[in-house]
Structure 1
Amino acid sequence: MKINVDQRALADAARWASRYIADKPTVPVLSGLLLNAHDDVLTISGFDYDTSGRATVAADTASSGSIVVPGRLLADVTATLPDSMVELTADDDTLTVTAPGNQFTLPLLPAREYPALPKAPAPTGTADAAEFAAAVKDVATAAMATKDAVGQVEGLGGIRIRAQGERLELTATDRYRIPFRTLPWQPNGPADDTMLITAPILADIAKSLSSGEVSISFPGPGDGMAGFATTDRTVAVRTRVGGFPPVENLVPKTEAATGYAEFDPAELAAAARRVAIVREKNKLVRVTLRGDHAEIVARGDGPAASTSIETTVDGVDDGFEIAFDPEYLTTMLAPLGDRVRIWLYTPTRPVLIEPLDGTPYRAVLMPVRVKQ
């Protein structure tokens, strides 16, 4: 194999593909990146048995071929080279990387031992990549459940993606938080599909494919692979087996609410973070509604803190108090940029958080039961 390729494009592709190399590969060859050069295209692939990533780069192909190179070493080497054309020349045992004034010789790994890369199904539809990445970010926090919690409830630790016509809905839960986020997309045909993907993996994929349009492939019948692709990046990822909790049954109905309180979400989140400083463990903050303001209070073993913020209340008695984990409260408010309405029931029933500006997001949040 002998090719010439732009340094910036090569370094970026090698860095991106190396994110799909496992930290501790089960077989040594999976510590490498697979380089395949043909027809003036260089494809760089990484694989860890659950996820594969392929980046394509335009190249001047003097001779074709496929090799496997230590992945992170290739990414580090190409990143240090000057902004110029780079020549890659491979023989049976080594890859020589040459740029003006620089030459590196890297050992090759046995390409015959590299496993076949999985292929994603044909695209089911496309969405704006930046909006898809934002939607994944909005729900991912609630999927970062503890190992104990994941073992107790099927579906925890994953993000469910559901196609419903020209809309995608993403949701996740850790039993205490349930965010829902929707976004438009363009299906290639009738769309009524669902898949569940491990949250950190999907968050990383969405972040790395956040420009232009992203093609999304739902698994076919009997196929556990999903796909996400842009013009020069493709990821195939194994979906999770098993169901997802019936979270729709847990969404409180607004007509059953006692009433609601409206807040500036950034102001409420900042107040919760501020007073929570005095809580060292078993964190909770109490929100007490008093007329046109809310008192946000936290008490530790000695220290205490309180702050007051403006609110609009309807249907809720003066002095109504409810407590939340401050981290859970702030993460459910984070996607919201304008006024938010929190529907209230009793101090121990989940609340429903809805934006007032039309943001395609809502969340269910479980309060903390407070011992009197």
Structure 2
Amino acid sequence: MKFRIDRDTLADAVAWTARSLPVRPSVPVLAGLLIEADHEGLTLSGFDYETSTRATLPAEVSADGRALVSGKLLSEIVKSLPAQPVDVALEDTRVSVVCGRARFHLQTMPVEEYPRLPQMPTSTGAVKADAFVTAVQQAGAAAGRDEMLPLLTGVRLELAGATISLMATDRFRASLRDVEWFPEDGEISAQALVPARVLSETARSFAGGSDISIAVSVGDVGDGLIGFEGTVGNGTRRTTTRLLEGDFPRVRQLFQTQPETVAYVSTQHLVDAVKRVALVAERNTPVRLTFSAENGLLLEAGTGNEAQASESIEAAVTGPDIEIGFNPSYLLEGLSVMGEPVVHLAFTQHTKPAAISGVGEVGADPDGAFRYLIMPVRLQT
């Protein structure tokens, strides 16, 4: 194996592929990054038995071959190299990496012991990369982080016709985001529960690309897998991951209640005010929000002899006045992924979840593209 490649192209692909490698591999070879060179170019692969990554990129290949080396070490080496072409060659049981006057030799691992990467399921359809990246970022804001509840650490994808719905919940908040896509079968109806961390990292890696091909396993081909493939720069990237199992909560039904009070607030003003007021809120204590048609929005935090803060901002409120408390971190995480200048807040009661959506202007109806539901926190009287 022997090839030459642009340093930046190699560094970016190695860093992305190595990101999926396990920190504590169950077998030593899983810490390895598989390098394969042939007449079609260069392929880099990583696998931990759950998630696989594969990057294909152009290279000047002068000798075919394959080798397995430490992915973490190769990533650290390549990103430190000078901005010059990189020459990589397999020499007996070592791989040499030469760039300018820098020269490294890496010990290889037994490539014959490396597990076979899972087969990519048949393509189900395609979605615009930037739209999908935004949708994943928004839906993932409500995904759980408690590994003791693995079902809630996923994002549910519902593929129905020309729409993909992404949903997540950690029991304290929920998200729902619809995005248009282009299915191979217009009558498709499929579901997949994807680990949120893998989905987020995969989506970000396609930012700035064109289309992402999505492949959900149906039948016995790649059963229990989902795959994503797209072009990044002058190469392609492919990820497969095993789906989570279990009955996901019925998130969509949570967004179907009719509100009694509706408020419109500047997204940036609300974010800034929550950050300031929350400075005096102790851990796990809420920020109190009082919405009034006459006085707009009042934010308060801190009680009794503790530090206290309050701030008033403009808000257009219709319906009965309402006083409600939220975990400031959960509120800010939802607001941070709103792309619109105005946030629409809908309330039923102070003990019921509030629905938050971004809109273009005061008075506009939420278009339903992204909705964020947050449970209130009991306020001390």
Deviations 1:295-348 (A, max 9, x none): 11111452111110111111214xx31111111122222232222222221110
* CA contact 1:119–1:225 (8 Å) conserved in 2: no
Letter in 2 for 1:311: A
Letter in 2 for 1:367: P
CA distance in 1, matches of 2:319, 2:77: 64
Q: Write the mapping of 1:20-31 to structure 2, written as runs, cut at 5 A.
A: 20-31=20-31
DSSP 3-state at the match of 1:172: strand
CA distance in 1, matches of 2:369, 2:28: 45
Corresponding residue number in structure 2 for 1:310? 314
Corresponding residue number in structure 1 for 2:217? 219
CA distance in 1, matches of 2:343, 2:98: 57
Corresponding residue number in structure 1 for 2:325? 323
Off by >4 Å, runs of 4+ in structure 1: none
Once the two structures are TM-superposed, the CA of residue 40 in structure 1 deviates from its matched residue by 3.9
CA distance in 1, matches of 2:269, 2:28: 51
Corresponding residue number in structure 1 for 2:19? 19
CA distance in 1, matches of 2:179, 2:104: 46
Corresponding residue number in structure 2 for 1:365? 374
Percent identical across equivalent pairs?
35
Corresponding residue number in structure 1 for 2:198? 201
Letter in 1 for 2:326: F
Q: Write the mapping of 1:112-123 to structure 2, written as runs, cut at 5 A.
A: 112-123=112-123
Corresponding residue number in structure 2 for 1:125? 125
Q: Tell me, which stretches of 5 or more residues in structure 2 are unaligned?
A: 361-366
Q: Relative to structure 1, is the Cα distance of residues 102 and 371 closer, same or farther in structure 2, using a 3 angstrom cutoff? A: closer
Which segment is superposed worse, 2-11 or 196-205?
2-11
Corresponding residue number in structure 2 for 1:265? 267
* CA contact 2:288–2:301 (8 Å) conserved in 1: yes
CA distance in 2, matches of 1:76, 1:331: 32
The answer to whether the aligner puts 1:241 opposite 2:242 as a matched pair is: no
2:182 counterpart (159, 182, 186):
186
Letter in 2 for 1:18: A
* CA contact 2:173–2:372 (8 Å) conserved in 1: yes
Letter in 2 for 1:73: L
Which segment is superposed worse, 3-12 or 64-73?
3-12
Residues paired across the two proteins, number = 364
CA distance in 1, matches of 2:344, 2:78: 51
Corresponding residue number in structure 2 for 1:157? 153
Q: What RMSD, in angstroms, separates the aligned Cα atoms of the two structures? A: 1.8
CA distance in 1, matches of 2:105, 2:200: 35
TM-score (norm 2): 0.90
Deviations 1:64-109 (A, max 9, x none): 1111011122222222333333222213311122233232211110
CA distance in 1, matches of 2:41, 2:380: 65
* CA contact 2:176–2:252 (8 Å) conserved in 1: no
Q: Write the mapping of 1:66-145 to structure 2, written as runs, cut at 5 A.
A: 66-145=66-145
Q: Relative to structure 1, is the Cα distance of residues 270 and 99 closer, same or farther in structure 2, using a 3 angstrom cutoff? A: closer
Q: Relative to structure 1, is the Cα distance of residues 276 and 39 closer, same or farther in structure 2, using a 3 angstrom cutoff? A: same
Letter in 2 for 1:365: I
* CA contact 1:171–1:178 (8 Å) conserved in 2: yes
CA distance in 2, matches of 1:80, 1:350: 49
Q: Relative to structure 1, is the Cα distance of residues 40 and 147 closer, same or farther in structure 2, using a 3 angstrom cutoff? A: closer
CA distance in 1, matches of 2:86, 2:278: 54
Q: Write the mapping of 1:335-350 to structure 2, written as runs, cut at 5 A.
A: 335-336=337-338, 337-350=340-353
Q: Tell me, which stretches of 5 or more residues in structure 1 are unaligned?
A: none
1:174 counterpart (155, 170, 176):
170
Corresponding residue number in structure 1 for 2:363? none
